[in-house]
Amino acid sequence: MTKVREIFDSMAYGPAPESNAEVLAWLAKQGDFGHWIDGGFTKPGAGFATRNPATGAVLAQVTQGSSDDIDAAVKAARRAQPKWARLSGAARARYLYALARLVQKHARLLAVLETMDNGKPIREARDIDLPLVARHFYYHAGLAQLLDSELPGQEPLGVCAAVIPWNFPLLMLAWKVAPALAAGNTVVLKPAEYTPLTALLFAELTREAGLPKGVLNIVTGDGETGAALVNHPDVNKIAFTGSTAVGRSIREATAGTGKALTLELGGKSPYIVFDDADIDSAIEGLVDAIWFNQGQVCCAGSRLLVQEGIADRFHDKLKRRMDGLRLGDPLDKCIDVGAIIDPAQLANIRAMVAANTEGETYYAACALPDGCFYPPTLITGLQAASTLMQEEIFGPVLVSMTFRTPAEAVELANNSRYGLAATLWTENINLALDLAPKLKAGVVWVNATNLFDAAAGFGGVRESGFGREGGWEGLLAYLKPAGKTKPLPQFVAVPAPANPETQAIDRTAKLYIGGKQARPDGGYSQPIWSPKGKLLGHIGLGNRKDIRNAVEAAHAAKGWAKATAHSRAQILYYIAENLSARAPECAARLRDLTGKSGEAEIEAAINRLFSYAAWADKFDGAVKSVPIRGVALAMNEPCGVIAALCPNEAPLLGLISLMAPAIAMGNTCVLVPSEVAPLAATDLYQVLDTSDLPAGVVNIVTGSHAELAKPLAGHRDIDAIWSFSAAPLSAVIEKESAGNLKRTWVNYGQSRDWFSPSSEGRTFLRAATEVKTIWVPYGE
């Protein structure tokens, strides 16, 4: 027997196992699991075993969900949704509060079950996952309570499908279910094949909370079950967390269906350490960044960037810290790193590391248990283009390279197709706050890592997905404007008359690219006729190469995002002023094009420019109330390059209504004007030229929406695309956008009143921005 004196001499950790007796008793009582549909478990069917990753032992038999099971769950959710939505927000808040309390009451049972089903250390499940689960339900109870007063004119989407991964099974459930229920939606959840058990236990707890039947339904199964849920025609919203490849497939599968979609996908997050950092603290943060949950974290700090002057010392200290990590039974409270989720994932990690032939690989000199375990690993001396620097490993493997200057650090950090999270470690707060906005990531942690809270939005950019989880911004993804829309009327360009009226002097409008008028690459033009048969002029027909040139010009004008909001506002005012000076001419042009008086549209366009000039420095971010000594800044950042197909029904006002919010928020844009009245847009060239707008901020390419939609939506250097075209292009745009998972906003053939106040303001500003959350702890 070890004596107390010997323990103090060696300071060795002894075992501190957590009992799993209650979990085993619950599993024994349940037996085989069916699905949770309409408030109860269905009869178990053919399925598969879910196993403890640490031991390989079978925990339970779970039913494989079929398309019929999905259909039954969706029907139950549809039946329950109207009554649930009719409840006041305050009434729904009571149920969410009850769920939060039940999570707390059963926290130990849930934590132990999560550890057994997932393989993560009990300390992480108990001290991180479960408190965050309860926090999400508490927070969204508050949002539900305030919903009716704070977001009037909004209504729930309907039935929401949630498909979640295996790395944080219960926490991901909370992230999806809490906002959906708070907003008045009902839910069908498909947990990961490897880790369904805590979702099923949570379903049982909803009975104790009195949650009405059908409000939450859970169907277990593999990827085919998830696909059946995603493709079900009676689902209104899909919330998915998982791999980028699957997210891309979901984007393609849902294209044109009208289903709302949010995607939280993979990452290859940079962890940047400057030479003035507190090295020991940075190393402890790095342990949490990459070896938390065995590195099976989408926002894991898996790409270490160390300033050259401290790299050797940092790597040496890091290796010593790695050697002290403890691997083993995840139920042992002394364990730091648990088990990999499944032998298949373990094999994938081994294969990726074995295939690497660059740099030096260091394995932690700690005892490696038998079974599904992988040692903490550090690979140094890689290049920016190395496979392991670019590809997500999703395991306890850290890759590293060095940098010299802050500018190089930003360039290396952004050299990725992902954009989920980033960490900065420096004692220079000025440096940190200078670099944080420059990093292409949805979340940035300063001198900390893996901080999460229900009040602070979490989500990515680029191929890490779109949409946010948490905060008001997360709730908005489960709401839509109340009321019904009408189908978009068709506007047809005036055909060439039998007896045309022509002018003596021809007028041909070119394209507007990079602040200059440019001839179309294809050399083709198209006549534009008035309803009375008068030839008003010609427009150039843009093609794929013109789109390429316009996007290049838009990227060259990226300094526009760095201009102050006040400066952007001034230029919008100038545009309005110069449009006002030419109002009679532009109104006459609209009258010729449409046969209707153009004065009202000109006046509305001027007012809209004034509105967005006013908004430019007033669409504020927020400081989120998160439970740390510090702040979480929610910053509204421009999306980047926005492409827009403009409406026919208000050829000038529609274009202004899309252009103005985009540039007010610091974006650059590529606009394709109305097909039936494009000369209303080409008359803007001189207005823009005389308004101090930098070249390339606004680019206008006239031509066929149907021909230009595909190259715009598929262009990998465009960050968002909007379509209010009369052409049926929503499906094409959403499908083509899957290439780089750009944000889309399309009309699905529904009309919009461009003269209405609903066609300006926060909805458009939110579409023109991404929320970046910057966590800044403070204190010694």
Beta strands in 282-342 (DSSP E): 303-307
Q: Look up 601 and say whether it is catalytic.
A: no
Do the strands 159-163 and 186-190 form a parallel or antiparallel pair, or are they unpaired?
parallel
Catalytic one among 193, 264, 469, 770? 264
H/E element, 82: helix 67-86
* 163, 226 Cβ separation under 8 angstroms: yes
Q: Respond yes or no: is residue 114 known to be catalytic.
A: no
Instruction: Work out whether strand 641-645 and strand 668-672 pair parallel, antiparallel, or are unpaired.
Output: parallel
What pairs with residue 186 in β-bridges?
A: 159
Can you tell me whether residue 723 is helix, strand or coil?
A: strand
Cα–Cα dist 686/510, whole Å: 12
In order of 118, 420, 579, 680, the CA distances from 244 in angstroms are 21, 11, 45, 41
For residue 321, give both structure tokens. Answer: 């810290």
DSSP single-letter state for residue 591: H
Question: Order of strands, edge to edge, in the sheet holding 36-37?
Answer: 40-41, 36-37, 216-218, 186-190, 159-163, 237-241, 260-264, 465-466
CA atoms within 13 A of residue 309's CA, in its CB half-sphere: 8
Residue 446's DSSP bridge partners are 424
CA angle 213, 219, 222 (to 5 degrees): 170
Residue 454: burial class (beta carbons within 10 Å; 0-12, 13-18, 19+): buried
List strands edge to edge, sheet with 668-672: 516-518, 511-513, 698-700, 668-672, 641-645, 720-723, 743-746
- Secondary structure percentages of the chain, helix, strand, coil, to 5: 45, 20, 40
Environment class of 242 (CB within 10 Å of its CB; exposed 0-12, middle 13-18, buried 19+): buried
> Are 89 and 145 in contact, with CB atoms under 8 Å apart?
yes
CA dist list (Å): 405 to 96, 128, 447, 686: 48, 35, 18, 42
What single letter denotes the amino acid at residue 559?
Answer: G
CB 724 within 8 A of CB 753: no
Burial environment of residue 90 by CB neighbours within 10 A (0 to 12, 13 to 18, 19 or more): middle
Single out the catalytic residue among 114, 124, 298, 760.
298
Go through 734-756 and write b for each residue having 16 or more CB atoms within 10 A of its CB, e for each that does not.
bbbbbebbbbbbbbebeebebbe
Burial 609-645 (b: 16+ CB within 10 A, else e): bbbbbebbeebeebebebeeebbbbbbbbbbbbbbbb
Phi, psi of 87 (to 5 degrees): -60, 145
Residues marked active site are found at 264, 298
